[in-house]
């Protein structure tokens, strides 16, 4: 089931954050990059256009797509002094 892209991005971010907190010895993730196959659809809602998406869960989910879309995303820690 497709969800708003913002929800998908929040879930991916929460997963990276949770993985970071499980590691011992003070290891902290400061940069994470991932490229994932996604299904994306633009829909019209409330007078605007909204992107809905979800990460394909397994290979069978992608069989009907000629070429699955790819989401490439990078999260990087920004020092507070670098913010405007």
Each residue's pLDDT, cut to its tens digit, for the chain (84 residues) gives: 889 999 999 998 888 878 777 665 666 677 888 888 888 889 999 999 999 998 877 666 655 566 668 889 888 877 656 556
**Sequence-ordered alpha helix ranges (H) in 23-68:** 59-62
Task: Determine the pLDDT at residue 77.
Answer: 76
Task: Determine the pLDDT at residue 29.
Answer: 74
Task: Determine the pLDDT at residue 49.
Answer: 93
Cα–Cα distance between 23 and 58 in angstroms, integer? Answer: 27
**Residue owning tokens 């069989």:** 63
In sequence order, what are the beta bridge partners of 54?
39
Q: Which two tokens stand for residue 35?
A: 């490229």
């Amino acid at each position: 089931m497709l969800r708003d892209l913002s929800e998908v991005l929040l879930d991916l971010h929460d997963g990276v954050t949770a993985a970071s907190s499980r590691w011992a010895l003070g290891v902290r993730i400061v940069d994470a990059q991932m490229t994932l196959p996604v299904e994306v659809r633009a829909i019209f809602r409330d007078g605007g256009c909204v992107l809905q998406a979800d990460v394909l869960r397994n290979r069978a989910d992608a069989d009907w797509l000629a070429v699955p879309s790819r989401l490439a995303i990078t999260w990087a820690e920004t020092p507070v002094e670098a913010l405007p």
